Chain A
Amino acid sequence: MSTATTPAPPAGTRPMVEVRAVHKSFGALEVLRGIDLQVRTGEVAVVLGPSGSGKSTLLRTINHLEKVDSGRISVDGALVGYRRSGDKLYELREREILKQRTHIGFVFQNFNLFPHLTVLDNITEAPLAALRRPRKDVLATARALLDRVGLADKADAYPRQLSGGQQQRVAIARALALEPKLLLFDEPTSALDPELVGEVLAVIKDLARQGTTMIVVTHEIGFAREVADTVVFMDGGRIVEQGPPGQVLDHPRHERTKSFLSKVL
């Protein structure tokens, strides 16, 4: 059973992400023990929780980087990784899964930029390869995105010539180049020096203001308070509680949430 409260989506807005009864084990270790979560279109959900609570795994199941053991996930009404026909679920081919992922942007903790490609090539690679858009449009979009993350002058630099904060901003631009319906952030600032965290969070805040649907796994409580529509607190593979930041962060109802917040605040 889950003690989490799932707020009903307001009338007229269908959920962008729907996670239902998801379980996932790595060997004998059950990392996700029945996750139910809804994220509405235009909503920013921030997932908090101690290390090993399953936050990152949950995020990675949403774009099928991890396969779930049971349960279902859908993004914008489409099942992730499967096709339903009657009462059977057919696993999608890799090609179809890759196509689904072009609608879901993913930003990694360690950036994972392609070190042998320039910043511009990092951003244009996926739209050219996966969407087969014309090169001219892709280049124009890429330059506009670089401008948006404040790195217009770094187009021809290689990732290793950039600071961590700059690399992560390029990674965000790279994810945005596919014009995804949903953006997933896996601890985007955890690998950064403290003074570089702000510039990355500023870019994410900017995206939030423009109504991008996002799920952000982070340890930045201040960021959660400022940007989140919903704060989700996870522990031991379960969602312990969720709700507006004012409720979860300032008046947590569960002991586990209280003790976690008292340690990180």
Chain B
Amino acid sequence: MPLTSDPPLDRTAPRRTGPPADDDPAALKVVPVRHPWRWAAIVVTAVLLAQFAHGLLTNPAWEWGVFAQFFTAETVVRAVWVTLQLTVYGTVLGFALGIVLAFMRLSASPFLRAVAFGYIWAFRSIPLIVQLLFWFNLAYLYKRLDFGIPFGPGFFSFDTMGLVGAMSAAVLGLALHQAAYAAEIVRGGVLAVDGGQLEAAAALGIPRPRQLRRIVLPQAMRAILPNAANEVISLFKGTSIVSVMAIGELFYQVQVIYGRNGRVVPLLMVATAWYVLLTTVLSVLQHYVERHFAKGATR
């Protein structure tokens, strides 16, 4: 039996189906492809969504009254403020150190490259929670901090216990952890800038610091920003880990309240709603910052 079949021989006159072909292609009607399964999927998804929304509104266990009562409660708002402070300090210090580390990794000196690599390796390897507990217990390791000539006499010194309180230990931990990731993001952004740009800047005799500030970083920002925004948002939510150190940030505060009144679900929703709200603000901010750095770009 043949695997291919020839078209049946048509011994009669050519048969036409449908109306005679029109010579004007514009007069032909285009029939779009139908997607019946897409419609089925839409219906199923819509029903599931409706069920979920119905549950949110009618299930009394959500206790929306309790949610409303605590959402704007003073203790909660103060805790949100602490969370924001941790995020801002962690981001600013983390990225500041990250930029330094990125340029160390890009430098011509093998020593600086190795140190930056070692830092990134170490701080990416140690879980944040372990690190935070380390900083929290720093006074156990070093009783005093002296500032002076390395290996020589000290000029002034601090009592570690007084210097590194819970809040500064948290900021320190978050920032050092963040710096390792920020360094790689910044390095990636700098590497994404076309080498010809640096060459052109060098050929024009533009001083080195200005090459970086005016030519490299603005272009690197386009590659840095989406990742950096990811990091900031993940740090913002990651501050909840600091609750292990009994710092009154949002998640810790919510736990304290439901520990007292037992209303676990509505209070978790209070924290969730704040996290969602502020993440939305950050995402909108990201959009505008990205637009600023997209000048002259086609996409």
CB-CB contacts below 8 Å: B167-218 with A: 194, 196-197, 199-208, 210, 214-215, 218
* Interchain CB contact under 8 A, A101 and B204: yes
Q: Tell me the nearest residue of chain B to A103, going by C-beta.
A: B205
Residues of A within 8 A of B28 (CB): none
Q: Classify chain B's interface size.
A: 20 to 34
C-alpha spacing A137/B205, complex, angstroms: 19
Stretch at the interface among B48-56, B229-237, B241-249, B290-298: B290-298
Nearest CB in chain A: distance from B253 CB, A: 44
Interface assignment of B91: CB less than 8 Å from any CB of chain A: no
A108 to B170, CA, bound (A): 51
Interface residues of B in 108-134 (CB under 8 A from A): none
Q: Is B87 an interface residue (CB 8 A)?
A: no
Give Cα A203 to B18, complex, Å.
63
**Complex interface: chain A residues within 8 A of B205 (CB):** 98-102, 126, 130, 178
Q: Is B219 an interface residue (CB 8 A)?
A: yes
* Distance of A118 Cα from B218 Cα, bound (Å): 13
Q: Does A174 contact B (CB under 8 A)?
A: yes
Q: A160 contacts which of B201, B202, B214, B297 (Cβ < 8 Å)?
A: B297
Interface string of A57-96 (1 = CB under 8 A from B): 0000001010000000000000000000000000000110
Partner of B297, one of A98, A112, A115, A178: A115
Do the beta carbons of B204 and A178 come within 8 Å of each other?
yes
- The number of A-B residue pairs with CB atoms under 8 Å apart is 76
Q: Report if A65-B203 is in contact (Cβ < 8 Å); known contacts: A112-B197, A114-B197, A114-B215.
A: yes
CA–CA, A158 and B219, complex, Å: 14
Contact indicator A160/B203 (Cβ below 8 Å):
no
Q: Assess whether A117 is interfacial by the CB under 8 Å rule.
A: yes
Closest Cβ of chain B to A93, distance in Å, is: 10
Q: Would you give the shortest CB distance from B45 to chain A, in whole angstroms?
A: 41
Chain A residues with Cβ below 8 Å from B204 are 101-102, 106, 125-126, 130, 174-175, 178
List residues of B (262-295) whose CB comes within 8 Å of A's CBs: 293, 295
Which B residues are CB-close (under 8 A) to A100? 205
Distance between Cα atoms of A113 and B296 in the complex (Å): 11
The 3 closest A-B pairs by CB, nearest first: A158-B296, A112-B200, A102-B205
Contacts A95-B208, A101-B203, A112-B194 given; 9 further ones with Cβ under 8 A?
Answer: A65-B203, A99-B205, A100-B205, A101-B202, A102-B204, A112-B199, A116-B295, A125-B204, A130-B205
Q: Which residues of B contact A (CB under 8 A)?
A: 194, 196-197, 199-208, 210, 214-215, 218-219, 293, 295-298
* Chain A residues within 8 Å of B, Cβ to Cβ: 63, 65, 94-95, 98-102, 104, 106, 108, 110, 112-118, 125-126, 129-130, 158-160, 174-175, 178
